[in-house]
Amino acid sequence: MRHFFSERMSGLDKTLIRRIHDLADSSSINLGLGELRFPTPKSIMEHVREKSSEWNLGYTSNEGLAELRGLVAKNCGYAVSPDQVCITVGAEEALFGLLMVLVNPGDEILVPDPGYPAYPSIVKMAGGTPRAYSLYPEDNFALRSEEVKKNVTAKTKVIIINSPNNPTGAVYSREELRSLARLLDEKGVLVISDEVYRDIYYEDEPDSIARYVQSFVVINSVSKSFSMTGWRLGWCIAPPELAKLFASFHQLAVTCAPSISQHAAVFALKGLAEAEKRQNLEELRRRRELALRCLERYTDLRCLKPAGAFYIFVDISRKISRYGNSLEAALNLLSKEKVVVIPGTAFGQRGEGYLRLSFAASAEHIDEGLRRIGRFFG
Q: Is residue 202 domain-shared with residue 296, that is, in the same domain?
A: no
Cα four-point dihedral sign 178, 223, 337, 346: negative
Q: What is the pLDDT of residue 1?
A: 45
User: Lowest mean pLDDT: which of 12-21, 50-59, 98-107?
Assistant: 12-21
Indicate which CATH number applies to the domain containing 124.
3.40.640.10
User: Which residue among 256, 272, 288 closes a domain?
Assistant: 272
Reported as a pLDDT band with limits 50, 70 and 90, residue 133 is: very high
pLDDT for residue 37: 86
pTM: 0.95
For residue 328, name the pLDDT band (cuts at 50, 70, 90): very high
Backbone angles phi, psi at 130, to 5 degrees: -75, 135
DSSP per residue, 230-289: GG--EEEE--HHHHHHHHHHHHHHHSS--HHHHHHHHHIIIIITHHHHHHHHHHHHHHHH
Instruction: Read off the DSSP letter of residue 81.
Output: -
Based on the domain organization, do 329 and 208 belong to the same domain?
no
Domain's final residue, options 219, 241, 272: 272
* 228 SS3 class: coil
Q: Is 283 exposed, middle or buried (0-12, 13-18, 19+ CB in 10 A)?
A: middle
Identify whether residues 144 and 11 lie together within a single domain.
Answer: no
In-domain check, residue 2: no
- Read off the pLDDT of each residue in 25-41 and give the average, rounded to a whole number: 89
Q: Is the peptide bond before 114 cis (omega within 30 degrees of 0)?
A: yes
What are the Cα distances from residue 344, in Å, to 90, 117, 139, 159, 228? 25, 10, 17, 22, 26
Q: Which of 247, 272, 297 is at the close of a domain?
A: 272
Radius of gyration, alpha carbons of the chain: 21
Q: Give the integer Cα–Cα distance in Å for 120 and 142.
A: 20
Task: Over range 223-250, report the average pLDDT.
Answer: 97
pLDDT of residue 20: 78
Rounded CA-CA distance 5/78 in Å is 43
DSSP 150-198: HH--TTEEEEEEESS-TTT-----HHHHHHHHHHHHHHT-EEEEE-TTT
Q: Do 171 and 133 lie in a common domain?
A: yes
- Percentage with pLDDT > 70 across the chain: 98
**DSSP SS3 for 210:** helix
Distance of CA 295 to the CA centre of its chain: 24
Mean pLDDT of 73-86: 97
Higher pLDDT, 363 or 22: 363
Taking the C-alpha atoms of residue 123 and residue 109, their distance in angstroms, rounded to an integer, is 7
Between 20-24, 117-121, 299-303, the lowest mean confidence (pLDDT) is in 20-24
Residue 322 amino acid letter: R
252 located within any domain: yes
pLDDT at 22 over 90: no
Rounded distance, CA 85 to CA 91, Å?
13
27 and 53 both lie in a single domain: no
Name the nearest CA neighbour of 160 among 174, 79, 151, 350.
Answer: 151
- The whole-number pLDDT of residue 2 equals 59
Are the C-beta atoms of 320 and 359 separated by less than 8 Å? Answer: no
Write phi, then psi, for 297 (nearest 5 degrees): -75, -40
Q: Kindly tell me if the per-residue pLDDT of 300 is higher than 70.
A: yes
Q: Are strands 342-343 and 311-315 parallel, antiparallel or unpaired?
A: unpaired
Instruction: Please tell me the total count of domains within the chain.
Output: 2
Whether residue 1 lies inside any domain: the answer is no
CATH number at residue 336: 3.90.1150.10
Residues 357 and 209 in one domain: no
Reply yes or no on whether the pLDDT at 195 is more than 80. yes
Sign of CA dihedral 80, 82, 86, 89: positive
Name the phi and psi angles at 302, rounded to 5. Answer: -105, 150
Rounded Cα gap, residues 281 and 88, in angstroms: 25
My answer on whether 31 and 106 are in the same domain is no
How far is it, in rounded angstroms, from Cα 59 to Cα 44?
21
pLDDT of residue 243: 98
152/168 same-domain check: yes
89 within 8 A of 254, measured Cβ to Cβ: yes
Is 159 a member of any domain? yes
Q: What is the mean pLDDT of residues 336-362?
A: 96
Residue 165 has pLDDT above 90, yes or no: yes
- What is the average pLDDT value for the chain, to the nearest integer? 95
Please determine, for residue 172, whether its predicted confidence score (pLDDT) is greater than 60: yes
Q: Residue 352 sits in which domain range?
A: 7-40+275-377
- For residue 28, count other CB atoms closer than 10 A to its CB: 17
335 against 8, higher pLDDT? 335
Q: Using one digit for the tens of pLDDT, what is the confidence trace for 244-264? A: 999 999 999 999 999 999 999
pLDDT at position 287 is 98
Across 324-334, average pLDDT: 94
Are 254 and 284 in a shared domain?
no
Instruction: Tell me, yes or no, whether 365 and 240 share the same domain.
Output: no
pLDDT bin (cut points 50, 70, 90) of residue 162 is very high
Count CB neighbours of 199 within 10 A. Answer: 18
SS3 30: strand
* One domain, residues 282 and 262: no
265 & 286 share domain: no
